[in-house]
Amino acid sequence: MNFAKEVILLSVTFLSLLPVSLKADEGMWLLALIKRLNYVDMQREGLQLTPEEIYSVNHSSLASAIVNFNGYCTGEVVSPEGLIFTNHHCGYEAVAELSTQQNDYLKNGFWAYDKKEELKPTSLFVSFFIRMADVTDRIQAGLTANMSEQARRDKIREFSDQIIRENNGGGKYGVEVQSFFKGNEFYMFVYESYPDVRLAGTPPSSIGKFGGDTDNWEWPRHTGDFSIFRVYGDKGGKPAAYSADNVPLKPKYFLPIDIGGVKSGDFAMILGYPGSTDRYLPSWGVDQLVHISYPAWVEASKSAMDVMRRYMDQNRKTHIDYASSYSQLANYWKNRAEMIKSLTAHQTARKKRKIERRFARWARKKDHIARYGQALNMLKDFYTASNDHAIQQSYLRGIIQPSEMIKTVLGRRTKAFLKNKNYMQQPEAVQKAIRDQIYGRLRELYAKMDMTLEKDLLKKQIALYANRVKPESQFSLLREIQKGGAGSISSYIDDAFAHSLFSSLDRLTAFLQHPDAAELNRDELFALAQNLWKKYHNPPKSYVDKKKERRKGYRLLLSGLRKMYPRKKFYPDANFSPRLTYGKVRRLPRDKRNDAKKNYYTTLKGVIAKYKPGNEEFDLPAKLIKLYKAKDYGRYVDADGSLHVDFLTDNDITGGNSGSPVINGKGQLIGLAFDGNSEAMSGDVQFDKRRQRTIATDIRYVLFVIDKYAGATNLIREMKLVNE
């Protein structure tokens, strides 16, 4: 083989592994760059809008209707009166908070047939995206190649703070400056947040969560994963805290809804707030995930779920109170378990090593070695040295995350208050205002905590941590506790809950009236929480130093890859900034579990086929069954005579995209994205163009449930329905 042919062959092989725009369905694209990078491809795929109709700084656009929902999901405005769709699992925490044993909205659903009936959760917000700007040149002007990583970070923070102050409108807007391509580019994003968001409707869990943990991340799906909220502002349309005088928001734009249905090959784009991907993760990082971090995470999560499930099954109040925490834990537990399988089956680490070998050859060239020659070694050194820390963090997270006592009651906010030496020096009126705010939050927390569950959860999780983490690496208090021998962990926690200020709201309330530092320092639960948080947030210096080198190595790797292939359209990893992904409605190979004629959608017939009376995951409301038997689907019936429930696209999404609108080529809403498929769970690290799918609830099923099942025609009348 001659040299020229060898170079061409290597280039083709390399490019087949890189996360670049080889297919229309790959990539989460920044909205301001759509016109330059993607518009021609999108037109070819079926887009009928202009770039300005998708995102515009000066005019309303599709982007004006897309919201960040409570910081972890996406929603979309669907009416001129501020009505918002998102996923049922995104609104789950708010619905759980509003639920009681007498009004169990999780189990029975909730529908506001008048705006006066809408319910306000304690804390729920949406943020509208206003604009973005490239600030790379401004920040890079203050950086030099020979800066230390800490100096570099300090300078970036200094410039970012300046940019934020210049663009926040005197506090009117939220402004973020975010890093892209591992510190090679920087963009500013401006948002406006609305804190008065109210529940307008949600189906019962037997529709909105149908299939439960069994069907999660699987296809075929039969889930009506949606909830409805409404945004309120003051009479001038500005953000305002909850008030009975607030009025429904008049949005800049809302999405029309297409009830004509979808078919395989239709154009589909998704706008939303994808949370986190690591498509450029090196092979050593993949190995750490597969063999170290995720197995520990899976074991710790399953251990906590078993404890929580036992108490939730015994008491409906406990079930309601812990439903959201359990659901989040179960979601990530299955995600990480499937990630291990997928990354292993797809030999992702081996593919990454091929990329790294080719990069190493390029970096050894005379013109590149001074800048890029050590990039891979920096990454390798970090991951090789951080395995023990990865185990530690995974099992620590397994203690903190499920425990309301540690995570919330004894979280950072409470610690900051209790450790505030200036509190007692404040005027009594100020002290009282602070106490009242703290009391209100504590009353909510304690009303929903099962102390027996919390105690057993800590026993189980700390014992697991003690058995899995090297003794010399454990938090210091645990080493002291275990000097008592077998059963010492259980005894310590029993004693802590028996005597702690924090095991009773009355005790804690009395203490807060006259805080005593000596009494607080003797409290065993407080000491335990202090140790856990300190260990979790204070890694050893050796790890911190290696992490700085990792940041530099990552930055150089991305810079080098982009120089190697300057004509290729690289896309940045997800980081909760607004993005667009586009592709098509697309099937998977035929699945015998699916009743549909083609395996890109499911129908209500398949829902009924899964029905198991009394089963928490597969029970169904009697009225839904009645509507099915009568084939009473109204105007939401498909041309084939069935009611479509969920469908597939090949869009590139991740966590945070939950609730995102699936939009057709005319800019009309056709579905709500809510999940991915287990066959491509490695997608956060390596996109699989053959297997990766987005699972969406068909908008016609959403409207059918609102209209025919719930009879909430008041909500339907607000929306703009089209049939094209």
In a domain, 304, yes or no: no
**Model confidence at 294, in pLDDT bands (50, 70, 90)?**
very high
**Element at 176 (helix H, strand E):** strand 174-180
Task: Return the residue matching tokens 């090593």.
Answer: 353
One domain, residues 61 and 118: yes
Residue 415: the pLDDT is: 62
Judge whether 233 lies within some domain: yes
223, 208 Cβ separation under 8 angstroms? yes
Tell me, yes or no, whether 258 and 226 share the same domain. Answer: yes
pLDDT over 50 (residue 146): yes
- Kindly indicate the confidence band of residue 12, based on its pLDDT and cuts at 50, 70 and 90: very low
> Span 529-554, mean pLDDT?
93
Classify residue 220 as exposed, middle or buried by CB count within 10 Å of its CB (0-12, 13-18, 19+).
buried
| Out of 488-492, 502-506, 686-690, least confident range | 686-690
pLDDT digits (tens, 9 = 90+) for 336-365: 999 999 999 989 999 999 999 999 999 999
Burial 358-384 (b: 16+ CB within 10 A, else e): bbeebbeeeebeeebebbbebbbbbbe
Of 148, 168, 187, the position where a domain reaches its end is 187
Q: Based on the domain organization, do 95 and 178 belong to the same domain?
A: no
> 445 in a domain, yes or no?
yes
- Helix/strand/coil for 158: helix
Tell me, what's the pLDDT at 416? 60
Residue 444 has pLDDT above 90, yes or no: no
Helix (H) or strand (E) holding 387: helix 387-400
Least confident interval from 99-113, 137-151, 424-438: 424-438
Asked if residue 61 is part of any domain, the answer here is: yes
**Per-residue model confidence as pLDDT tens digits over 700-710:** 999 999 999 99
pLDDT single digits (tens) 492-531: 999 999 999 999 999 988 887 777 778 888 999 999 999 9
Share of the chain above pLDDT 90, in %: 82
Q: Are 479 and 626 in a shared domain?
A: no
pTM reported for the whole predicted model: 0.90
Tell whether 318 is covered by a domain: no
Please answer whether residues 618 and 610 qualify as being in contact, where contact means their C-beta atoms are separated by less than 8 angstroms: yes
83 neighbors 718 (Cβ within 8 angstroms): yes
Question: Looking at the annotation, which residues are catalytic?
Answer: 89, 225, 658
Judgement on whether residues 582 and 513 belong to the same structural domain of the protein = no
**3-state class of 68 per DSSP?**
strand
pLDDT confidence band for 443 (50 / 70 / 90)? confident
Whether residue 550 is contained in a domain is answered as no
pLDDT bucket at 377, cuts 50 / 70 / 90:
very high
Alpha-carbon span 666 to 668, nearest angstrom: 6
Q: Could you please report the per-residue DSSP string of 552-582? A: HHHHHHHHHHHHH-TTS-B-PPP-SS-EEEE
Range 617-629 average pLDDT: 98
What does the pLDDT read at residue 579? 98
pLDDT of 681: 85
How many whole angstroms separate alpha carbon 138 and alpha carbon 321? 48
549 domain-assigned: no
CB neighbour list of residue 402: distance below 8 Å, 6 or more residues apart: 301, 304, 305, 307, 308, 325, 329, 457, 461
Residues 490 and 532 in one domain: yes
Which of the four pLDDT bands, split at 50, 70 and 90, describes residue 5?
Answer: very low
Number of domains in the chain: 3
Q: What pLDDT was estimated at residue 419?
A: 60
- What pLDDT is recorded for position 22? 40
**Short-list 188, 137, 139, 186, CA closest to 167:** 188
- Let me know whether 612 and 697 are in one domain: yes
Q: Is residue 362 part of a domain?
A: no
My answer on whether 96 and 157 are in the same domain is no
User: What pLDDT is attached to residue 169?
Assistant: 96
Same domain, 163 and 83: no
pLDDT of residue 11 exceeding 60, the answer is: no
SS3 74: strand
Q: Cis link prior to 613 (omega < 30° from 0)?
A: no
Whether residues 724 and 612 share a domain: the answer is yes
What is the CATH classification number for the domain harbouring 616?
2.40.10.120
Lowest-confidence segment of 101-115, 258-272, 373-387, 590-604 by average pLDDT:
590-604
Specify the range with the lowest mean pLDDT, choosing from 96-100, 529-533, 602-606, 689-693: 689-693
Q: Kindly tell me if the per-residue pLDDT of 1 is higher than 80.
A: no
pLDDT at 589: 83
Binned at pLDDT 50, 70 and 90, residue 14 comes out as very low
Per-residue model confidence (pLDDT) at position 682: 87
pLDDT at 3: 29
Full domain range(s) for residue 170:
133-187
Confidence of residue 423 (pLDDT cuts 50, 70, 90): low
Instruction: Report residue 413's pLDDT band, with 50, 70 and 90 as the boundaries.
Output: low
Dihedral angle, C-alpha 697, 700, 706, 710, nearest 10 °: -100
| Among 538, 563, 589, residue at a domain's last position | 538
AA identity, residue 679: E
At which of 144, 167, 187 does a domain end? 187
Q: Could you tell me if 222 and 178 lie in one domain?
A: no
Residue 139 and residue 200 share a domain: no
What's the whole-number average pLDDT of the chain?
Answer: 92
Average of per-residue pLDDT across 12-19:
41
